Amino acid sequence: MAVKVTKFGGSSLASAEQILKMKKIVEADEARKFVVPSAPGKRFKDDVKVTDLLYSLHDAASHFEETEEIYRQIVRRYTDIRDELGLSIKIEDYLEKVYEDIKTGANEDYAASRGEYLNGLLIADLLGYDFIDAADVIFFDENGGYDAKKTLSILPGALKLHERAVVPGFYGSLPNGKIRTFSRGGSDITGSIVARAANADLYENWTDVSGFMMADPRIVEDPKKIDVVTYRELRELAYMGATVLHEDSIFPVLEAAIPINVKNTNDPENSGTMIIPAVEGRGEADGITGIAGKKNFTVITIEKDGMNTEIGFGRKVLTCLEKFGLSFEHMPTSIDTISIVVADVRIRHCIEELIDEIHAVCQPDSVEVSSNMAIIATVGRGMIRQVGVSAKLFAALADSHVNVRMIDQGSSEINIIVGVENDDFEKAVKAIYNALV
Ligand code: ADP
Ligand code: ASP
Ligand code: MG
């Protein structure tokens, strides 16, 4: 029989009403044997996600500040859901244990992970599914990286012992037994890992939009839906800000080529977006797949006449970055310049020392720094075969009076990256969308 792994995001499980939609979806298809829940998310625009409450609780506890009010809000989220669903599970007992652990020094990841853990207990009870604690089946190595080898030596066997089960998202355990979480939005990765381990036919990722849109719906009004997207395009878009799916979610399913279907819990009939290994006939006639972007980057532009003939110049620049433990997002080059794009948060504390180092090691003619930059990626497997996409894109930006500060056409030729000022970000995304879609 076919097996589907279904991951539900925070907004899909934010209240009893939403959880009942989840139940209906799971029960509509026998193949939906494994459910990966997130923690309860926002019920309305200014609501607070349980995960954020748990981070605040941990923060308050570790600074010996008042914790009761935050704890009470967390308790209320879970007891409301339990009561409205008419379940009898004594969730208070689990909550008290979590509170006690946090007050007595449990780590931040442990605190954050309890959002999914507690929700998983409620959901398993509601569905009549077994509960598998992710700490027993998903593993990280001593450096905190996901340990695929260990996980895949244990999780497939564990799943086989259960006809149907709930595996909470977002966390696993370190070799010392302590809890470790993925980065924010990481329940998507858990879903992918479970899909791989179950050798699933499909990984369904249920959220609050009907799939990937060609641009962020918070910026462009009513953007077109992407019906089919490749793993690689998805990764570019997700990493660049289309946060519907965590950018690392494709790795676990990559080798097994399991398709991912992003679907809407509030509109289950909508086919959503299919994410697949590759698309036949790579370059479709019409244009781009999507646009995504993020704010707050610093661009360092290094200029030196004759740079192109100086052996080892690029290496010297990278050595400087390495010295400060910095990774970079992009590195567009031209004959006499190299630009390096790094997230503001990563570079802020060391920018001056880094510039001094570049001067000392690379002897450039000039080094220029611009911060508060936004990066926008226009992605499409079809772009490679098309003339004029970039011409249209730059014309649109010029018409909207957006000053383009940096350009990089990825060597994969599935994206064009532009850097603009933070203030121009929304305007630029709209202009590109209107010109190319
Ligand atoms: P979940 O809680 O289900 O994991 P997320 O909030 O992580 O959901 O992701 C869904 C959200 O991603 C949408 O509500 C939307 O605001 C945002 N988003 C950003 N870019 C896009 C895009 N290109 N297409 C669709 N949604 C997008
Ligand atoms: N609850 C976690 C977060 O808010 C993980 C997730 O939702 O995927 O980041
Ligand atoms: Mg998410």
Percentage of the chain with pLDDT > 70?
97
Average of pLDDT values for 406-419?
A: 82
pLDDT at residue 411, as a whole number: 67
How many Cα neighbours within 13 Å face the side chain of 413? 8
> What is the position in ligand 1's atom list of the atom closest to the CA of 41?
2
Cβ–ligand 1 distance for 243 under 6 Å, the answer: yes
Largest Cα–Cα distance of the chain, in whole Å? 74
Per-residue pLDDT averaged across 301-318, rounded?
A: 92
Per-residue model confidence (pLDDT) at position 280: 63
The pLDDT of residue 389 is 85
Average pLDDT over residues 297-306: 94
The residue whose CA has the least distance to atom 6 of ligand 2 is: 185
Q: Work out whether strand 228-230 and strand 32-37 pair parallel, antiparallel, or are unpaired.
A: unpaired
Q: How far is the CA of 245 from the centre of ligand 1 (A)?
A: 7
pLDDT at 333: 86
Instruction: Report the pLDDT value the prediction gives residue 285, as an integer from 0 to 100.
Output: 46
- In this prediction, residues 371-388 reach a mean pLDDT of 84
Span from the CA of 244 to the centroid of ligand 1 (angstroms): 4
- The rounded Å distance from CA 38 to ligand 3 centre is 8
* Ligand with smallest separation from the Cα of 437: 1
Of 185, 346, 189, the closest CA to residue 252 belongs to: 189
Q: Hey, which of 207, 212, 288 would you mutate to test ligand 1's pocket, going by the most ligand atoms within 8 Å of its Cβ?
A: 207
Q: Can you tell me the mean pLDDT for 220-224? A: 96
User: Is the separation of the CB atoms in 399 and 431 below 8 Å?
Assistant: yes
Task: Tell me the average pLDDT across 365-384.
Answer: 90
For residue 347, pLDDT over 70 is answered with yes
Residue 213 CA to ligand 1 centre (angstroms): 9
Q: Residue 69 carries which side chain, given as an amino acid letter?
A: E
Average pLDDT rounded to a whole number, residues 77-92: 98
Residue whose CB lies within 8 A of the most ligand 2 atoms, among 36, 51, 193, for a mutation test: 51
Among candidates 219, 186, 218, 222, which has minimal Cα distance to 205? 186
Give the closest residue (by CA) to ligand 2 atom 8.
Answer: 185
| Ligand 1 pocket, mutate which of 7, 38, 203, 209 (most atoms under 8 A from CB) | 209
Closest C-alpha among 375, 372, 382, 387 to residue 432: 375
Pocket lining: 207 vs ligand 1, CB cutoff 6 Å:
yes
Interatomic CA distance for residues 347 and 370, integer angstroms: 12
More confident residue, 330 or 216: 216
Query: 287 or 134, which is more confident?
Result: 134
What 3 state SS string does the chain have? Answer: CCCEEEEECHHHHCCHHHHHHHHHHHHCCCCEEEEEECCCCCCCCCCCCHHHHHHHHHHHHHCCCCCHHHHHHHHHHHHHHHHHCCCCCCHHHHHHHHHHHHHCCCCHHHHHHHHHHHHHHHHHHHHCCEECCHHHCCEECCCCCECHHHHHHHHHHHHHCCCCEECCCCEEECCCCCEEECCCCCHHHHHHHHHHHCCCCEEEEEECCCCCECCCCCCCCCCCECCEEEHHHHHHHHHCCCCCCCHHHHHHHHCCCCCEEEEECCCCCCCCEEEECCCCCCCCCCCCCEEEEEEEEEEEEEECCCHHHCCCHHHHHHHHHHHCCCCCCECCECCCEEEEEEEHHHHHHHHHHHHHHHHHHHCCCEEEEEEEEEEEEEECCCHHHCCCHHHHHHHHHHHCCCCCCEEEECCCCCEEEEEEEHHHHHHHHHHHHHHHC
Percent of the chain at pLDDT > 90 equals: 86
Give the lowest-confidence range in 19-33, 69-83, 87-101, 384-398. 384-398
Residue nearest to atom 17 of ligand 1 (CA): 244
Nearest-atom number in ligand 2 for the CA of 52 is: 4
pLDDT > 80? residue 284: no
pLDDT band, residue 381 (cuts 50/70/90): confident
The Cα–Cα gap between 199 and 31 comes to 12
Ligand 1 in contact with 370 (CB < 6 A)? no
To test ligand 2's pocket by mutation, which of 11, 13, 49 has the most ligand atoms within 8 angstroms of CB?
A: 49
CB–CB of 336/308 below 8 Å? Answer: yes
Ligand nearest to the CA of 37: 2
Contacts of 219 (CB under 8 A, 6+ apart): 426, 429, 430
CA dist 433 to 352, 402, 411, 423, Å? Answer: 37, 14, 22, 17
Please say if the pLDDT value at position 332 is more than 90.
no
Q: What integer best gives the mean pLDDT of the chain?
A: 94
Q: Is ligand 2 within 6 A of the CB of residue 42?
A: no
**pLDDT-derived band at 352, boundaries 50, 70, 90:** very high
Q: Give the number of whichever ligand sits closest to the CA of residue 109.
A: 2
* Ligand whose nearest atom lies closest to the CA of 53: 2
Task: Answer whether 116's CB lies under 8 Å from 135's CB.
Answer: no
pLDDT digits (tens, 9 = 90+) for 144-172: 999 999 999 999 999 999 999 999 999 99
Residues contacting residue 252 through CB under 8 Å, at least 6 positions apart: 148, 189, 192, 193, 195, 196
- Verify whether ligand 1 is closer than 6 Å to residue 217 (CB atom): yes
pLDDT for res 44: 96
**Residue 334 — very low, low, confident or very high, per pLDDT cuts 50/70/90?**
confident
Top-confidence range, 116-125, 233-242, 284-293, 412-421 = 116-125
Give pLDDT, residue 279.
67
294: how many CB neighbours lie within 10 A of its CB? 18
- Is any ligand 2 atom within 6 A of the Cβ of residue 205? no
pLDDT given at position 287: 73
Is the C-beta atom of 129 inside 6 A of ligand 2? no
Residue 169 Cβ inside 6 Å of ligand 2? The answer reads yes
pLDDT at 115 over 90: yes
Tokens of 303: 């200029």
421 Cα to the center of ligand 3, angstroms: 27
For residue 217, the CA-to-ligand 1 centroid distance in Å is 8
pLDDT (tens digit, 9 = 90+) per residue, 168-216?
Answer: 999 999 999 999 999 999 999 999 999 999 999 999 999 999 999 999 9
Residue 10 CA, closest ligand 2 atom number:
7
For 225-258, b/e burial (b = at least 16 CB within 10 A) is bbeebbbbbbbbbbbbbbbbbbbbbbbbbeeeeb
